[in-house]
Amino acid sequence: MNGTGTQKAARLERLKMEIIEYVSNHPGCSAADIVAYLSNEKRMRNHGLTTRKVGFFIPRYLKSDVDYQLDSSTGKRIYNAA
């Protein structure tokens, strides 16, 4: 997200809030679960996150709020609230 507009900052904060809320209510979720929740249930069609981008977004913006561990059988990240 380039720029310093207040609408961009508000969108970023809402996205962070929604991800934290979902992960705390559904521990053990994957990145695909988070993207499906944002797109389908919250109707945030233009959030811009794909399953792969969630893996970069969470360590960058939600490092202190969301932890992850690797699933031994699939190798995917499983997210939990910190």
Task: Tell me the whole-structure pTM to 2 decimals.
Answer: 0.85
Q: Distance between CA 61 and CA 15 in Å, rounded?
A: 10
pLDDT tens-digit profile of 23-46? 999 999 999 999 999 888 888 777
- Domain locations in the chain? 28-81
CA distance 23 to 5: 27
Task: Please report which confidence band the pLDDT of residue 11 belongs to, taking 50, 70 and 90 as the band edges.
Answer: confident
Work out the number of other CB atoms within 10 angstroms of the CB of residue 16: 16
Task: Give DSSP secondary structure letters for 24-64.
Answer: HHSTTB-HHHHHHIIIIIS--TT----HHHHHHHHHHH-TT
